[in-house]
Amino acid sequence: MPTNLTGNTVSSTYDQLLHVDGGPTATEKTVYGGTGVATALKVSTGAVSVDNIKLDGNTVSSTNTNGNIVLSPNGTGTVSFSKAAITGGTITGVGLSGLSADLPIADGGTGASTASAARTNLGIGTNGTFDAAYGFFYSDVDQTYSANTPAVVTFSQSAPFNVGISVASSSRITMTVAGVYEISFTGQLYNADSTDHAVTIWFRKNGTDIAASATKLAVPKIADSGVHIFTITGMEQFTAGQYIEAVVMVDNANVKLDYTAAAVGPPAVPAIPSALINVTRIG
- For residue range 87-106, list pLDDT tens digits in order: 777 777 666 666 667 888 88
Q: Which residue has the higher pLDDT, 27 or 31?
A: 27
Confidence of residue 230 (pLDDT cuts 50, 70, 90): very high
Q: Which residue has the higher pLDDT, 33 or 65?
A: 65
Position 56 scores a pLDDT of 85
* 68 pLDDT higher than 70: yes
Spatial distance between the Cα atoms of 41 and 32, rounded to a whole number of angstroms: 8
Share of the chain above pLDDT 90, in %: 53
Position 218 scores a pLDDT of 98
Whole-prediction pTM: 0.61
Position 97 scores a pLDDT of 65
User: Amino acid letter at 34?
Assistant: G
- Mean pLDDT, rounded, for 245-268: 97
* 199 pLDDT higher than 80: yes
Exposed/middle/buried for residue 189 (C-beta within 10 Å: 0-12, 13-18, 19+): buried
* 14 pLDDT higher than 70: no
What value does the mean pLDDT of the chain take?
89
* 195 pLDDT higher than 70: yes
Position 231 scores a pLDDT of 98
* 1 pLDDT higher than 60: no
Position 267 scores a pLDDT of 95
Position 128 scores a pLDDT of 65
Position 87 scores a pLDDT of 76
* 210 pLDDT higher than 80: yes
Position 200 scores a pLDDT of 98
Position 240 scores a pLDDT of 97
pLDDT, tens only, 104-159: 888 778 888 787 787 778 777 666 667 899 999 999 999 999 999 999 999 999 99
What are the C-alpha distances in Å from 1 to residues 4, 5, 116? 9, 10, 68
Spatial distance between the Cα atoms of 124 and 162, rounded to a whole number of angstroms: 24
What are the C-alpha distances in Å from 18 to residues 37, 38, 40, 47? 10, 10, 12, 17
Which residues does 280 contact at the CB level (< 8 Å), separation at least 6? 133, 134, 135, 181, 182
